[in-house]
Structure 1
Amino acid sequence: MTWWKTVAVLSCTVASVLAGSAQAVAAPPRPGAHCPQLDSALPWHGDNRARLQRMIDERGSCAGRSGARPVAVFDWDNTVIKNDITDATLAWALQHDKILQPRSWLATSKWLSPAADRALTAACGTAVPAGRPLPTSRNTACADEIMEIREKSRTMGGAAAFTGEWNHRRTEPSYGWIPSLFAGHTPQALTAFARLARAEQLRAPVGAKQTVGTHTIAGYIRYYPQQRDLIRTLKAARFEVYVVSASAEAIAEAWSDGVGLDRAHTIGIRSQTRHGRLTAELLGCGGDPAALPYIDGKRCVVNQEIFQVKGAAAWEQQDSTRRIALGAGDADTDVTFVGDATGAHLALNRNKTELMCRAYDNADGRWLPNPMFLDPLPAKSGPYPCSTAGAVRADGSRGPLRRADGAVVADQADRAHG
């Protein structure tokens, strides 16, 4: 991939030994002179807007680069928007009786515990035939069990909802469970549910709450103007921009057009289909059928779906020609793909340890920690425990976070906050 360098216009007489004539070489535009610009009226933390603009100028269309277009990838929930589209869609579905009775609750997840199966069966009953809607708008106990498992991975009685072994850097059973709850619907129907939920959430005032069963959750969502503007500017500078979400892909597709992204640039948890309808079986990544767009799984999905790296190689960090220029996220679920970016790592601060340890350590000088744009968190009390519990291990335990050279990342103070 060739990079233009700014040069002065020269006019010179070629030496007689070269038997040439004077040549004039025109310089390409100075980077930034005519590049798409971020809106200067939208506030960013510190010099983050200027640093993002510099990356756009250097990597985008006005840099005169040839070859493949640079790629930017955004997480969705609490990165591009405030709050969570899976929560919003699940809440709407429970309030409108859109969850279908499964043939067995155990079929909704290979990790669902016997205790969760018993709790869901007792709360939701067996009178409704498999494939028919559960009356969750009226059955508070059933809605509560589903919401408690979604929120806390436990039953209303306090038992673990998921048991067994899984790679905690590739999979979170509660994330994969939600798409499975919509088995029996078409992907188009799930997108329609999500659009109806979106309309309600965007109408609701900032700060609104809603009650599902006896659970109280956020009742509004907002697109962040700064992220809309950043995506607009990146696209204008000829970046390929994608969303990679740990929500069901059909749900994410209902929202991504709000920032100008189409279905081809929206990636989420993908379910297998049968006769055009969603099933409880999910599509994995990199040869691992259990993998989700989750921590290292997001790298796998980026490599596999965007850069067409197939098989086990999709789990590995690629060379610079097959990596994203910009990655943006807000949680530990995003840390691997955001860290793979070669131009800028944008980290929205929700006090998530592994992501913020990476952001504040700033090993390559390209990390941009930024408070949430709406209702930012105050400073975290005490430092992030990067040196002792900064990294999530595959077995779910936590240990020291290390740089690429093996050095342990020191504990970090919280510096980008409300």
Structure 2
Amino acid sequence: MRAKRTLVTGLLATAALAASVPAADATPPATSPAPAYRTNCPQLDTSLTWYGDNRAKLQKMIDERGSCSGTGGPRPVAAFDWDNTVVKNDITDATLAWALKHDKILRPKSWTDTSAWLTPAADRALTRACGTSVPVGRPLPTSRNAACADEIMEIRSTATTMSGEEAFAGDWNHRRTVPEYAWIPQLFAGHSPKALNSFARKARAENLAAPVGSTQTVGTHKLAGYIRYYDQQKDLIRTLKAAGFDVYIVSASSEPIAEAWSGGVGLDREHTIGIRNLTRHGKLTTGIRGCGDVADGRGDALPFMDGKRCMINQEIFKIKGANAWQRQDPAHRLAFGAGDADTDVTFVDDATGAHLAINRNKPELMCRGYDNADGRWLVNPMFIDPLPQKPGTYPCATTGAAAEDGSHVPVLRADGTAIPDQTDRVFGG
């Protein structure tokens, strides 16, 4: 059980949100003026480089919302996405690559058992590539069978087979889940959570030891071969904790994988939220825990886009049922949120003190970041190998946001007006 938090009571919002329209904010609680500099207040490391005046703005938010504010009350909450927000590169990709190179995927009875959305075309491709000679429940020899490793990697990265056929089909809410994200935890069915955590730890050691910029090959797929913690984010998390913030990781990685990494920034299992497989007799199954009023099952509610809000509301603020999907009053919202992709946009936008967007050219997040409707958005290039300026503009006014049915729609402000197209203004040299 995760530790319960003492919360300021307040009315819960009851109106459902449109796919890309945040509810209008209630007036935030009054805060004391930012305190004068005091040597005993937790300070961000001034030797670490941030873009522009982002460090000063973050420090101001920490001083206003943290223990130096003198306002008392419940601990403010901060939440970070993980991949490419706290670290450079992707821990799920790293763990899957390690598992394929070390024969850790167990053969399912049928590939269609791994996902309710897997297509017959994907089932045929995986069966053909991986074969049927290995007994069910035994490790597939993916370190030697490049075709099998390739099909798994291609479905993970593109949601298509190696021949280009769709790997997933059916109905799902595109702001709550994505089948290829759910599929990776489902592939590890039959292992214990402890075993999956150990795979992730071994992948972690390998990727931290590899030189920055290195790549690896799995099957014929080339992908990043290194991961690094961002020093700036480690320092920000340290400072937030020292200032009394309750800090969480909310990731679309499998929870045992995320737990293998979060200790590196001083966060424990209780403060690490990820995809949660159902277990049977101590082993992971293909079932995934739901959120709010979405039942456990095939993975209809992941910590993905609106699902990250639901997980934060449910697990941190203890809001149950359908209300967990709704934007809450300021007393039951994050003070700070950080992310790098559209998968993070909902919870980052929910923050009342500051929203940190790491620029990876993801349209909905960057549209909101550059529009800066509440004056609290901070955009920062990636701290390692930042992207150059995006050519053209972000299509905020037309197709910048994803709707629940998967179509692309305008990015709307709280008042219903569309955000104008935005030029990329904060980027690497």
* TM-score, with length taken from structure 1: 0.93
Q: Distance in 1 between matches of 2:142 and 2:149?
A: 5
Give the percent of matched residue pairs that are identical in Structure 1 and Structure 2.
Answer: 70
User: C-alpha displacement at 1:123, in angstroms?
Assistant: 0.6
Match of residue 106, structure 2, among 85, 91, 100: 100
* Larger relative contact order, structure 1 or 2 (CA cutoff 8 Å, min sep 6): 2
CA distance in 1 between counterparts of 2:377 and 2:267 reads 25
- What code does the residue aligned with 1:120 have? L
Q: Is residue 385 from structure 1 mapped to residue 395 from structure 2 by the alignment?
A: yes
Query: 1:65 Cα deviation (Å)?
Result: 2.3
Counterpart for residue 40 of structure 1? 46
* Pair 1:397-2:407 in alignment: yes
| Equivalent in 248, 257, 275 of residue 251 of structure 1 | 257
What is residue 111 of structure 1 aligned with on the other side?
A: 117
* Selected match of 1:176 from 161, 165, 182: 182
Instruction: Determine which of 138, 145, 162 is the counterpart of 1:156.
Output: 162
Deviates more, 1:124-133 or 1:333-342: 124-133
Task: Give the AA of the match of 2:142.
Answer: T
Q: 2:231 aligned with 1:221, yes or no?
A: no
SS of 2:48's partner is coil
- Report the AA paired with residue 378 of structure 1: P
**Separation in 2, partners of 1:123, 1:212:** 14
- 2:339 is matched with which residue? 329
| 1:31 and 1:57 in contact (8 A); partners too | no
Distance 1:29 1:74, change over 3 A: closer
Quote the Cα distance in structure 2 between the aligned partners of 1:261 and 1:128: 40
The partner residue of 1:310 within 304, 307, 320 is 320
2:248 corresponds to which residue? 242
| Aligned-residue offset at 1:30 | 3.8
1:187-202 aligned at under 5 Å gives the runs 187-202=193-208
Residue 342 of structure 1 aligns with which residue?
352
Largest Rg, 1 or 2: 1
Q: Which amino acid aligns with 2:380?
A: N
- For 2:283 and 2:39, locate their aligned partners in 1 and report how far apart those are by CA, in whole Å: 51
Opposite residue 207 of structure 2, the aligned amino acid is Q
Q: Displacement, 1:287?
A: 1.7
Secondary structure of 2:422 counterpart: coil
1:143 is the counterpart of 2:153: no
Opposite residue 392 of structure 1, the aligned amino acid is: A
Q: 2 CA distance for matches of 1:141 and 1:5?
A: 61
Aligned length: 397
Does the aligned pair in 2 maintain the 1:4–1:64 contact within 8 Å?
no
Structure 2 residue 233 is matched with structure 1 residue 205:
no
User: Matches of 2:194 and 2:304 in 1, distance apart?
Assistant: 24
Q: Secondary structure at the match of 1:234?
A: helix
Mapped contact 1:100–1:130 kept (Cα < 8 A): yes
Structure 2 partner of 1:20: none
Specify whether residues 170 and 29 from structure 1 end up closer, same or farther in structure 2 by C-alpha distance, changes over 3 A only.
closer
TM-score w.r.t. the length of structure 2 is: 0.91
Q: Given that residues 176 and 292 in structure 1 are in contact (C-alpha distance below 8 angstroms), is that contact kept between their aligned partners in structure 2?
A: yes
| Structure 1: gaps spanning 5 or more residues | 7-27
Does residue 62 (structure 1) correspond to residue 68 (structure 2)? The answer is: yes
